[in-house]
């Protein structure tokens, strides 16, 4: 792609459900496997996003929650220099999003079943239980987790959790420092149940906006949006897959809120219930 990239734009990401043992997953991003890559590139500044659903056939993937994922790229502005591009890539173990220098764009991943549309189907997952599931401890899973490989400074991102169109919660945060080494990210389910407002918890400044009440035992859709306000040019984000959360004593890296405000001096124990 003709855009700034991170780690050759082939090192990508997943969200895991936080536990102290083998966890469930939202998306391992290992499908397509090997050199097979899902890629969407938007080269035109307009209101139309470039969309792709994977897999495209009737047989769902076993490594994607609900069997299907949507990846979306939307070029929102260009400085007119070079070839404008907003590009999202998935495959071989993760996800990346980037925009060409001087240009702005929004990248979105949706997990909402097989809907064949870039419009989020808020009940597409059919009421999945994210707390009690295979891979969770007896007490249940209680957080999303991922590893950030690298990220730019200063763009907004959102995580949306939906039960249906009338019951959902959106966490909005901004990158406050550049991430240059692999860094564990952790988002507590409980944060999405907080009252509307701004918070600073575990090294992360974030905003919660709720409509109704999201139920983590009855999930209809999940959505992750990069540069969600379209306000930052030349965005780059690369995430790497994780399938297990190491015990605190074996962590090579400090846990932080994804792209949070300050590095913490110790890894918190909040993933335990």
In contact, 49 and 176? CB cutoff 8 Å: no
Task: Assign 112 a pLDDT band (cuts: 50, 70, 90).
Answer: very high
Task: Assign 238 a pLDDT band (cuts: 50, 70, 90).
Answer: low
Q: Is the pLDDT of residue 211 over 60?
A: yes
Q: Is the pLDDT of residue 140 over 50?
A: yes
pLDDT digits (tens, 9 = 90+) for 27-84: 888 888 866 788 999 999 998 999 999 998 889 998 888 999 999 999 999 988 889 9
Question: What is the average pLDDT across 158-163?
Answer: 96
Q: Is the pLDDT of residue 128 over 80?
A: yes
pLDDT of residue 145: 79
Say how far apart CA 211 and CA 253 lie, in whole Å: 35
Which has the closest alpha carbon to 97: 120, 76, 115? 76
Q: Is the pLDDT of residue 194 over 50?
A: yes
CA angle 29, 33, 35 (to 5 degrees): 115
The whole-chain average pLDDT of the chain stands at 78
Question: What is the average pLDDT across 131-152?
Answer: 80
pLDDT digits (tens, 9 = 90+) for 76-97: 999 888 899 999 998 877 788 9
Say how far apart CA 50 and CA 52 lie, in whole Å: 7
In contact, 23 and 135? CB cutoff 8 Å: yes
Q: pTM of the full predicted structure?
A: 0.83
Say how far apart CA 85 and CA 1 lie, in whole Å: 8
Instruction: Map out the domains of the chain as residue ranges.
Output: 7-250
């Amino acid at each position: 792609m003709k855009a700034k990239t991170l780690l050759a734009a082939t090192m990508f990401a997943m969200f895991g459900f936080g536990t102290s043992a083998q966890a469930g997953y939202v998306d391992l991003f290992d499908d397509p496997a090997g050199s097979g890559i899902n890629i969407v590139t938007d080269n035109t500044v307009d209101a139309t996003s470039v969309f792709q659903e994977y897999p495209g056939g009737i047989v769902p993937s076993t490594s994607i929650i609900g069997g299907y994922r949507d990846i979306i790229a939307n070029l929102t502005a260009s400085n007119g220099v070079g070839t404008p591009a907003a590009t999202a890539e998935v495959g071989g173990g993760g996800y990346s999003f980037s925009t060409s220098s001087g240009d702005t764009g929004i990248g979105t991943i949706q997990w909402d079943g097989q809907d064949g549309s870039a419009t989020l189907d808020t009940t597409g997952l059919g009421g999945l239980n994210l707390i009690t599931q295979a891979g969770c401890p007896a007490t249940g899973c209680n957080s999303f987790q991922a590893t950030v490989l690298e990220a730019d400074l200063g763009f907004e991102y959102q995580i949306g959790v939906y039960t249906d169109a009338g019951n959902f919660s959106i966490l909005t945060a901004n990158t406050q420092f550049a991430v240059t080494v692999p860094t564990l990210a952790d988002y507590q389910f409980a944060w999405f149940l907080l009252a509307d407002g701004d918070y600073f918890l575990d090294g992360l400044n974030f905003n919660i906006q709720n409509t109704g009440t999201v139920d983590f035992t009855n999930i209809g859709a999940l959505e992750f949006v990069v540069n969600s306000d379209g306000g930052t040019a030349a965005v780059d984000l690369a995430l790497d897959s994780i399938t297990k959360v190491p015990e605190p004593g074996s962590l090579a890296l400090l846990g932080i809120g994804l792209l949070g405000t300050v590095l913490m001096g110790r890894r918190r124990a909040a993933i335990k219930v």
